[in-house]
Structure 1
Amino acid sequence: MNLESIVSMLPLNARAIEGANLRDYTTFRLGGACPLLVDCPDAKSLAASARVLVGAGLPFLVIGQGSNLLVSDEGIDQVVLRYCAEDLPDARFEGVRVQVSGNTLLDALAHAAIEQGVGDLSFCCGIPGTVGGAIAGNAGAFGRQIGDVVETVRLLEPDGTIRAVDALALDFEYRSSILKQSGAVVLDAVLKLKPVDRETMERERDRIMELRRTKHPDWRTMPCAGSVFRNIEPTSAAERRQAAGWFLEQAGAKDFAVGGATLFEKHANIIIAEPSATANDVFLLTERMIAAVREKFGFELSREIKLVGTF
């Protein structure tokens, strides 16, 4: 079945772009093209588009804001379904519970929950990406993670079927869940938040946003994907995770650069893609960082970003 036939079968409110350049859909602003990108504005159009592709026997990749992706310079052969709403959060607040669409931006939801006085999601403020992507990767910061507040989710499976599960079925771990292996996508979720005084939440949000401004790059002006490597698991239950950035600094990686890929001056675990950078530059820089830590400390760093395509 050719692309023209596929496009004709897609939902009317889904926007199809043939030969879309994926650099326009990732925060690294790197990567080649895909044969077809389908921008799905809601859960219904995403599920319907997936069923069209499954019926046609075409492999596909679902992305959100592209904030943890490194797409190869050669692009990919898969159709891409984009599930990301960049306007107001699609969320309904009832008591301490929030029903939210998986395509809602996490930062927008965090701010909305605080403004509504519903519950505390301040730790999510400033984190790029969608709610669905955050749940799949159990995103978090400052010792907290979104898996702690997930109650139920509705999933789109790779075969196009939909099922609802509770949080226990997601097997949340540090920066991971079973969704990373299964490939299922979060259509929407119900979060149960901890009630906190609104003024307290607003102060915490302001503190976190100021901390991010002083220590992290703004991905809108400095293309990046946040932390490149996962923090290091403790050797005992009594210990805290150790920052991958500390090991990288000790291994001398702070001054590393490959082509247009450099390390952020304030954080050794964040790669900045300069205007001349290629995806391969970033990949080779990550390899050099892994090798430096391996040589000095004898263990392997684990990537937090996802490689898409051939490297």
Structure 2
Amino acid sequence: MPDMLDLTIDAGVIAVPNPVHSADVVHDYVDTLLDWSKLLEEPWVAIHISQGASEALFADGLYPLREQLRTLFGDHGIVEYDINTVAKLIDKLLTLTPSFETYYRVKDVLADALDTDPDIIKLTTHNGLQSDLARCVILIAILRKHCRQPIAGHSLILRSAPDSIVRVRAQIHDIEHERDDLPELPSPPEYFEGDVLVCDDFKGLVRCLDEGAILTEACDSSGAELAIKIALFKASLAWGQEPNWSDTRTPVIGASFLETCRECCRDQGGGLSPRILRAIVETMQSQNMAAVHALRTGKGGDDPQRMRGNDKAQRRDIDYEFHLHYWECANGLVELASVVHHNDFSIPE
């Protein structure tokens, strides 16, 4: 598995909607919370929230207390959500550990003249939420630009994301931290400039992930499975479907698959792994079947197909040089066996 993907949830995502909003807004609010809650048990992602999130919500009168939720749901006739379940989920999100500041060993930043493009700070008019969001945006931008810890893929989750990349410009007066890799930042009147990745739903997050890089960097079968799951999920989105992450079915990863995959990718830069994933998606979706050929016991076209009990050995063209070998199992599963060069017709059992 590659390094975990890190996410920071903006407190505005958790802020209780205004009672004057429509029932649709309340539904979207709960659905968003439930959407992100899917990630709490995923081993490949770590979710953080700022230490000041709860304080900002209380200061702005937006902390979603149970009574507040009960009144909100009652006023809008919402009965399909259990209030206690939603409240427990909110409490869990607000008490996530370690906090963003603890995890990245940054405590605070003193800055002014902040400009974000698009302007995400004005997505909320509440002072506490604006202040907390501004601080997180500046800190994440600094970390992304200057720190050794790999946070290039760190995403900030917003209630509404107008774009996937937000450019950040600010005057930095001071930053309180415990890191040893932060250089001297530009001093006012000079400006610091950086950017932050943002998203507002689970689909947007998955679209930002680089499944090819995840496959290339995978050190075990769970990393390979994650890359494949992302590729399958993206393919379903591209076909206009509404995939469910939890229900996305992945193939069995054979004992030799990842090793042979790495060997073939080693001298190909980053170009082969996306093609491998495309071939796997086509295999799982029974597409482009003209690229599939039976692996036979001999070189003759009339030789019988190689079998493993009742499982059939198959060979799918990735391109002219590389091929995906897999077992089409009698129980309906697909087991990825190996990635091989053109003249290799072996398949691990």
TM-score under structure 1 length normalisation: 0.29
Q: Which structure has the highest helix share of the two?
A: 2
Higher alpha-carbon Rg: 2
TM-score under structure 2 length normalisation: 0.26
By relative contact order (CA 8 Å, sep 6+), the higher-ranking structure is: 1
